[in-house]
Structure 1
Amino acid sequence: MLNIPQKGTWVGRGSMLMSLVRKITTFGIVPKSSSLSLESYCQVNDNDRVYSKNRAIDSFIKVGDFDSALQVFDETPLYDVVSYNLIISGYRRCGLLKESFGFYNEMVSRGIRESESTFSSVLGVCSDAGFYAQGIQVHCRVVLMGFGLNLFVGSSLINLYMQMGQENLGLEMFDELPERNLETWNLVLRGLCEVGRVEKLLELYFRMKWDGVQCNGVTFSYLIRGCCCFTNGGSFEEEGRQLHCDAIKLGWVEINVFVANALVDLYSACENLNDARKAFEDIPLKDVISWNSMVWVFANNGLLVDSIKVFSGMQFWGNRPSIRSLVGLLNFASGTRNIGFGKQIHSYAMKMGFDSGSAHIQSALISMYGKCGDIERSVAIYENAEGRTLECCNSLMTSLMHCGCIGDVVEMFGLMVDEGIGIDEVTLSTSLKALSVSALTSLASLKMVHCYAVKLGLESDLAVSCSLIDAYSKCGRIDHSRMVFEQLQTPSTICFTSIINGYAQNGMGSEALKFFQAMIHKSLKPDKVTFLCALAGCNHSGLVKEGKILFDSMKTSYGICPDRQHYSCMVDLLGRAGLLYEAEKLLIKAKGNEDTMMWSSFLRSCRVHKNEKMGRRAAKVLMELEPENPAICLQVSNFYSEVGEFSTSMEIRELAMARKVTREIGHSLIETSNHSSYTVAGNFLHDDFAMFDELDIESQDSEDDIDIDFFDIPSWKSERGGKVLVNVDSFGAVGDGVADDTQAFQKAWDTACSTPKAVLLVPQDRRYLVNATKFQGPCAEKLVIQIDGTIVAPDEPKNWNPKFARQWLEFSKLEGALFQGHGVIDGSGSKWWAASCKKNKTNPCKGAPTALTIDSSTAIKVKGLTIQNSQQMNFIISRSDSVRITGVQVTCPGDSPNTDGIHITQSTNVVLQESRISTGDDCVSIVNASSNIKMKRIYCGPGHGISIGSLGKDNSIGIVTQVVLDTAVLKETTNGVRIKTWQGGSGYVQGVRFQNVKMIDVANPIIIDQFYCDSPKSCENQSSAVNISKIIYKNISGTTKSEKAMKFACSDSVPCSNIVLSNVNLEKKDGTVETYCNSAQGSGYGTIHPSADCLSTHDNKNIQPIIDHNHDIVHTEL
């Protein structure tokens, strides 16, 4: 008799009952002879429990209750591969990709064998999350487990490699699959579409047709979108039209909105707006993508009315505008410089909530305001953005470039590198453009950016390559430009134009024409810019015949109508050659009666070739066109002076002075043998002069014969609020190196300090003897100290004013001042050195003056100066905040005593970069009460290295925190990176990082010395000491002269702690090296040579945060 369970026994066990029913239906009726009983079926085994558990997990996941699914999973320790597959896919569905992959790791560690569903899910997680390294590891397990040829797993692998940008590997795996379904084909098509491999995309399409694979709407969508791309061979409009026909034949255009939207994008990309409009109108049921695509198409092609109509129609039919629509409208505002319309779209974006959460909208807003000239608003949007994305940074860079903030573009590039935001082809191209127009671009800076491009694999990008060609050529290194060009596999018209322009600007017209011919032979069509560059090359080289042929071929051979610039170039070419009649005829033909540039060029040619009649006509036209242009006034005045009409010449001069016009200063930069020569034309400074990295200077085509008496006044200010020049010569400075110019400098300082936007100028090619002087503020805004000449100190210590025993040139209480120029501050220190007790122990030990001191100041910049032969310390920054030193050179003999290069004391937020220091003492010394000091790209040698200290002398308190040295070369120095403290002191040194340092024959590369004693007498042993902790040495390599390459001589009473060594490799050319430790605690990571096992280890948890900790230096002037 059957033993039936009592009522209530099955409550909550419905799934087990169903399992029992399935077993019965599977095995059939139990024979009477069988010994099995119903009781045996009612005994639930582990498989039943797992099955029931999986059903419950699946049910919870399907209804979106993933927490309950996890709870069911954790209730019992019974799992199988299905259990894990469900949780892995559940995590992926919730967007928790890291957790999903972690669950997979747990599954493998438990020894549960993967199924094809496991691999498909996990590979999908790796593709979605960008876990590419982990994806490759999973691929290895796929092969190991024998799933390599499985269709679904293979499809997931193809998708992974396509997402990684390794489309060749994806194609290889695709070809190895024994069978393929339509989804697999579409995966490959999508990958090729995204990377722009149009030829391969079309080749695959023909393979599909050959294999009889029936395409669907997704297939045609990828194929048609792929044809939107452009290559050097042009567009793929014809191929796209053929695909359009195929899609119509198969009926996909009418029923698949994705295909219709792709057609809209295709025809708009090919600038065929009529077909794009027709494709849009033929869509039976337009979705939001259709509407937004058409808004974007019309806006980006300048059809504002059509764009607004579609925009309004979209909302009328209940479709919400997307980010793409708003970006298109903002791009229209940018292109037309219509800031009013842009503000309206901005307001709408704020109303719809798009302004804060979308990087695309923020980027478009930054670009719109920048292109419309409101750079302050662009910066404000950037600073208020939730995250510093690469797209927003690039938009700000291009906006700064458009507004002429060249230095800010370069600084932005450095910021993006330092903060790890990332760099792409737009970043590199914009940075190179900024460097190419900067007044002080160096070859080293161009090479640095070029190296970044190579490192990132972007050197073959056409935009980056063209920018490199342009930048190198403008720096005078056309050989580098040619090298970049020759590395391009398929140079485009723009690339040829860049190299042609490079040769043209460097006066190599014949070479420019050779590249022009090579371009024609490659069947590339030149455009207006190409012809202009080639004509400029003919002009610079005097190739009249070639220039005429080139100019005539524009219209006859290529159907290009010359514009004003082409005519201007030809007028100048003919005029320089003395063909004045042809030049004037061409000028009139070009309808150049309103073109000042052409008439100015023509007048210059008339003056050169002594044609008074034609010159008079040109002068008359110029004065009618632009009587307020200072260059025109000067040119016409000089012309009348040359023909003997002095009264007319003076009238024009007086008229110009009455109107208070001034000439804009010009400049040129020539770099030879790694030295830059900066030359300034003219004798007056314009609003934008002398800010090097911050303000751009545009060269004017000025006269060679500058009349200095034109505005012969010592300082001058325009009604427009321009710079005020304060020339020390105008205050009685002689500048012969013999006469005492101290009073003249002091008078000039008083005037400059009290005048807003003043430029205190020390002219070049002069030597000014100046005694010890204090230049004290506070001063008016935007003061510039422009040192182009040489300032020398008296060389006799006996005659030194005892009132200034420790100072020579001291500047104090300044805010926002800029020190710059290519001048020299020479301390004439040889007699001071000879009188030092370190040179001769019989001499008394006493202090000597410092060449340059900046004290109690804020937001100071020092650029390009040379400080040499100081009496003692060369450059002191004292009690100051936010000081930036760039491109400074400090030079003293290696045996000059106490001549620290740059000494920082009681100062915060100091940046020292791209400087070269050679001294007889510390290249850089950082002492008490200093913090947030960053040094980058420093060359030191000879000298005593980079030092923190000495600290704690005479039982004093010494505190130094947050110091970074990044990228430095120390050559033949006594010490490398050093921390030195006296015994008996107190305080602390912490948060110091020395990284990316190259040592070349350094005596003590890495040293901490808490027993420092720089005294003729021996120092007394004392127990207290400055606490040294959290010191990082990272990526330090090179050669040492001593066996003890690393010395950590720490106090027995206050040991050094948290010393971190990471990738340190120091060798001795003729022997072994070792590390010395005394009371030092720390750890090493990576390669450490010599071994630092002598460091007593402690809990690494205290060290790890130090490695990741990176304090930003704040500059109030920014």
Structure 2
Amino acid sequence: MVVRTRNLLSLARGISTSTFLRNCYVDVYSYNRKIDDLIKSGRLDLAVQLFESMPVHDVISWNLVIAGQARHGFPLLALNLFKVMASQGVRESSSTFSSVLAICSNAGFHREGYQVHCRVILLGFDSNLFVGSGLVHLYMSTGSHCIALKLFDELPERSLATWNLVFRGLCWLGRSDELLELYWRMELDGFKPSSVSFCYLIHACGIGAYLDQGKQFHCHVIKIGLSQSNLFVANALVDLYSSCRSLIDATKSIEIIPADDVISWNSIISIYTDHGLLPEALEFFARMQSWGKKPSVRSFVGLLNLASRTENSQFGKQVHGYVIKLGFDHGSVYVRSALIDMYGKCGETESSVSLFEESTERTLECCNSLMTSLLNHGAIEDIIEMFGFMIDEGVGLDQVTFTTTLKALSMSAMVSLTSCTLLHSCVIKLGFESDIAVSCSLIDGYSRCGHIEFSCRVFKHIPVLNTFCFTSIIAGYARNGMGREGLETFEAMIQKDLEPDAITFLCVLTGCNHSGLVREGQLVFEAMRSVPGLRPDQRHYSCMVDLLGRAGLLEEAEELLKLAPVKGDSVMWSSLLRSCKIHRNEKVGRRAAKALAELKPDDPAAYLQALSFYSELGDLDTAVKIRETIGRRKMSKDVGYSWIELNTPYTD
């Protein structure tokens, strides 16, 4: 209306329409320059006032104010301005869509972003490089990387900035494999990666733990001179080696960065704590703060995890105090869950429970940490009750929850086919049946309640078998006296080129022991001795001594016992004495009884076992002396009890 009135006045004064329009364009152009200058100088309010006072607006005017509102932290106002612009019939430009799509991506207005996408297609801007890049960014920010990559592939041309945009999105989503594949496509398209590209590529290698690929990128950045000249690339290398737990390379990478410019202080602290190097970690922790760098969640979690592994509650409490000082105890769920875990691993379960109860929000991480703390303390029934609490409160369940609950259940008197089946149903319903740790826990649970056939079913449905899977099923066979089946599974594992560890060998030997497979057990024991870097420990020797003793090979058992790495193991001597009693071997039995009495002079069980052996032999004089010793020392054996429950009828 203003334009129309001014047009009439101009004509009345005898000014031509073309001259009038040219004057209006000059006025709009000068207004736009002033608005742009005001926005760049930070005076957004004056820019908006000038915009509102303009007699005529063009698309550039709208673009400037929309972008200015977003730049100064008012994304919602910017989006509302775009809606007003569209309602007034002002046709958008590529710059309009680029700004609005960036707003929708960064501020989380994803639904509005999809509507803008429709508008982009309607006006034919989808083939524009800048608008197309904005759409790729939008869908990456929503996690829809498949749609984003499809839009990226449909772009008629690409720039290095567009490639970096895709790299950033995939890096943020943790899609390392797709990102590295795109890198090779980028090379084929003739684009050379920039420092920004290398930051994303190196970070992707860290996420996927692709150490060799990361080292190749490291060589590349050294070749073109970015490893020292670009601080972001240098810090990305520190993060890479920290994520891959390569201590030496991480240390070398951080040494070339000036101390006041190190962004990755928290990464290097984390890797030192992962390797148990507390003094070095604390040294970097102090240096970081001396340069004014603030510790992050990663630093505190690393230090608390180290306190958990070493069961150093004193150090853990010192870290806790600093956490409270900086406000991380309520500000980070990861720090709080690490605190709960630390106190639990250090045996202070009451502190773990108190921290959990003080939490304003009962998160999955905190619940899992409390469950592992309770498991460490042996509070089995409390873990099962905690599982029910998590279901009732809708906290959510993950693989850690199921693994901990199944382990607790297998240690409990409540383990049964019904309880395992119920948990198995939950696992399938929530999609965790393909998780290795959960599957192994199910195998263990079913085998402990005597239903090895269900353990076999779980084992057969695991998509990719590894050493842990085979060890779990072999342990199940051993537990149920099926040593032959355990040996066959062990052979199948070897045929798959999987390397057994010390636990695998122990489970095989236990199965041989329970099934009386003496020759097979000896072959497995000798095979373990021949594996480089793997030697039988006290548990393996104890199992073999028991196996040989049960078979009546008592002299061989005694000789093997003397070769054990730890001398004077009362459990092995007790096992040997028990076998001597069964096979009535007086010669070896007397030596075993003597050794047991010397190792356990205050243990009534050792004297009672020796008393039983001599009484069985008919050596009444020695038996009387032992009985007098027991009476003189006032020894008494603890009364045993059973977990077996009887189904007795109800009586009033």
8 Å CA contact retained: 2:297, 2:334? yes
Matched, 1:825 2:650: yes
Q: Secondary structure at the match of 1:367?
A: helix
What's the CA shift for 1:374?
A: 0.7
Pick from 189, 192, 198: which aligns with 1:211? 189
Larger mean CA deviation between 284-293 and 603-612 belongs to: 284-293
Q: Partner letter of residue 638 of structure 2?
A: T
Superposed counterparts of 1:79-228, under 5 Å:
83=62, 90=69, 94=73, 146-159=124-137, 161-162=139-140, 167-193=145-171, 197-228=175-206
Change beyond 3 A, Cα 1:401–1:205: same
Question: Do structure 1's residue 324 and structure 2's residue 303 form an aligned pair?
Answer: no
Alignment of 1:1014-1033 (within 5 A): none
SS of equivalent residue, structure 1 residue 459:
coil
**Contact in 2 for aligned 1:497/1:530 (Cα 8 Å):** yes
Matched, 1:650 2:634: no
Question: Which residue matches 1:35?
Answer: 16
- The 1:547–1:347 alpha-carbon spacing in structure 2 relative to 1, beyond 3 Å, is same
The corresponding residue for 1:496 is: 470
Cα RMSD of the aligned pairs, angstroms, is 4.3
8 Å CA contact 1:257, 1:285 repeated in 2:
no
**Could you say if the C-alpha distance between residues 39 and 170 of structure 1 is closer, same or farther in structure 2, counting changes exceeding 3 Å?**
closer
Q: Per-residue displacement from partner, 1:385-404 (whole Å, max 9, x unpaired)?
A: 34323222222222222222
Greater relative CO (CA pairs within 8 A, separation 6+): 2
Residues in 1 aligned to 2:385 and 2:213: alpha-carbon distance in whole angstroms: 45
The alignment partner of 2:328 has SS state of: coil
> Does 2:643 align with 1:662?
no
TM alignment of 1:590-739, pairs within 5 A = 590-629=564-603, 631-644=605-618, 645=620, 646-648=623-625, 650-651=627-628, 654=631, 658-659=634-635, 661-663=637-639, 665-667=641-643, 678-679=644-645
User: Structure 2 CA distance, aligned partners of 1:434 and 1:427?
Assistant: 11
TM-score (norm 1): 0.51
Name the counterpart of 1:736: none
| Partners of 1:71 and 1:629 in 2: CA distance | 94
8 Å CA contact 1:66, 1:90 repeated in 2 = no
1:829-840 equivalent positions in 2, closer than 5 A: none
1:292 maps onto 2:299 in alignment:
no
Closer/same/farther in 2, CA of residues 148 and 663 from structure 1, 3 Å limit = farther
Answer yes or no: is the 8 Å Cα contact 1:161–1:169 preserved in 2.
yes
CA distance in 2, matches of 1:485, 1:66: 67
CA distance in 1, matches of 2:276, 2:466: 26
Q: Classify 1:129/1:529 alpha carbon distance in 2 versus 1 (closer, same or farther; 3 Å).
A: farther
Name the structure 2 match of 1:921. Answer: none
Give the C-alpha shift of residue 102 in structure 1. 8.4
- Which one-letter code corresponds to 1:493 in the other structure? T
Q: Is the 8 A contact 2:371 2:386 kept in 1?
A: yes
Aligned amino acid, residue 569 of structure 1: C
Pair 125,575 (structure 1): closer, same or farther in 2 beyond 3 Å: farther
1:65-84 → structure 2 map (5 Å cutoff): 83=62
Which consecutive unaligned segments of at least 5 residues does structure 2 have? 7-12
Question: For residues 390 and 67 of structure 1, do their structure 2 counterparts lie closer, same or farther at Cα, with a shift above 3 Å needed?
Answer: farther
**CA 1:42–1:90: 2 relative to 1, 3 Å:** closer
Amino acid across the alignment from 2:152: F
The 1-side partners of 2:588 and 2:58 are apart by: 99
Q: Which residue in the other structure is 1:581 paired with?
A: 555
Q: How much does 1:103 deviate?
A: 8.3
The SS at the match of 1:289 is: coil
Is this contact kept in 2: 1:288–1:321, CA < 8 A?
A: no
Give the Cα separation in 2 of the matches to 1:62 and 1:416.
53
AA aligned to 1:327 is V
Maintained 8 Å contact 2:475/2:507: yes
Q: CA deviation at 1:519?
A: 2.8
Per the alignment, residue 453 of structure 1 pairs with 427
Alpha-carbon deviations, 1:832-873, whole Å to 9, x = none? xxxxxxxxxxxxxxxxxxxxxxxxxxxxxxxxxxxxxxxxxx
Partner residue of 1:63?
42
Deviates more, 1:441-450 or 1:77-86: 77-86
Q: Which amino acid aligns with 2:306?
A: F
Query: C-alpha displacement at 1:342, in angstroms?
Result: 0.9
CA offsets 1:554-613 (integer angstroms, 9 cap, x no match): 232343112111222222222222222222221110144332322222222222322232
AA partner of residue 825 (structure 1)? Y
Offset, 1:527? 1.9
Q: 1:610 to 1:297 in 2, by over 3 A?
A: same
1:467 aligns with 2:444: no
- Corresponding residue to 1:280 among 254, 262, 280: 254
Distance 1:238 1:74 in 2: 61
Aligned to 2:340, the other structure's residue is in SS state helix
Q: Measure, in 2, the Cα distance between the counterparts of 1:44 and 1:153.
A: 27
- Note if contact 2:239-2:264 (Cα within 8 Å) is conserved in structure 1: no
1:391 paired with 2:365, answer: yes
Distance (Å, rounded) in 2 between the aligned partners of 1:214 and 1:649: 86
Q: What is the CA-CA distance between 1:406 and the residue it aligns to?
A: 2.0
Q: Is contact 2:202-2:236 (8 Å) kept? A: yes
Change (3 A) 1:604 1:417: same
Give the structure 1 partner of residue 223 of structure 2.
Answer: 249
Which residue does 1:958 correspond to in 2?
none
More strand by share: 1
Residue 319 (structure 2) pairs with residue 341 (structure 1): no
More helix by share: 2
CA deviations over 1:146-203 (Å, ceiling 9, x no partner): 4544444444554455555554454444333332333333344345445655444433
1:116-161 deviation digits (Å, cap 9, x = unpaired):
5666566656666777777667666655664544444444554455
Indicate yes or no: 2:284 matched with 1:310. Answer: yes
Distance of 1:357 and 1:421 partners within structure 2 = 19
Task: Rate the CA distance shift 1:363–1:579 in 2: closer, same or farther, 3 A.
Answer: same
Do the aligned partners of 2:542 and 2:572 also contact (CA within 8 Å) in 1?
Answer: yes
Amino acid at match of 2:627: M
Give the Cα separation in 2 of the matches to 1:392 and 1:57.
50
Cα distance in structure 2, aligned partners of 1:666 and 1:121: 73
| Residue identity in the other structure for 1:556 | S
CA distance in 1, matches of 2:628, 2:464: 59
CA shift digits 1:1018-1043 (9 cap, x unpaired) = xxxxxxxxxxxxxxxxxxxxxxxxxx
Superposed displacement of residue 369, structure 1:
0.9
**Per-residue displacement from partner, 1:7-31 (whole Å, max 9, x unpaired)?**
xxxxxxxxx9xxx9xxxxxxxxxxx
| CA-CA distance at 1:42 after TM superposition | 7.5
Q: Could you tell me how far apart the structure 2 residues matched to 1:533 and 1:74 are?
A: 84
Query: Which of 478, 482, 486 in structure 2 is aligned with 1:512?
Result: 486
What amino acid is the match of 1:662? D
Distance 2:454 2:109 in 1: 39
1:335 to partner: Cα distance: 0.8
Deviations 1:704-754 (A, max 9, x none): xxxxxxxxxxxxxxxxxxxxxxxxxxxxxxxxxxxxxxxxxxxxxxxxxxx
SS in 1 for 2:292: coil
2: CA distance between counterparts of 1:111 and 1:518? 73
Map of 2:10 onto structure 1: none
> Structure 2-normalised TM-score?
0.84
3-state SS in 1 of match to 2:384: helix
Cα offset for 1:543? Answer: 2.5
Cα distance 1:366–1:220, how it changes in 2: closer, same or farther (>3 A)? same
Does the 8 Å CA contact 1:58/1:69 hold for their aligned counterparts? no
How far apart in 1 are the matches of 2:453 and 2:82? 55
Q: Separation in 2 of the partners of 1:601 and 1:347?
A: 49
Q: Pick which of 515-524 and 375-384 moved more.
A: 515-524
Tell me: CA distance 1:205–1:522, structure 2 relative to 1, closer, same or farther (3 Å): farther
Q: How many residues align?
A: 641
Q: Aligned partners of 2:125, 2:485: CA distance in 1, in Å? A: 60
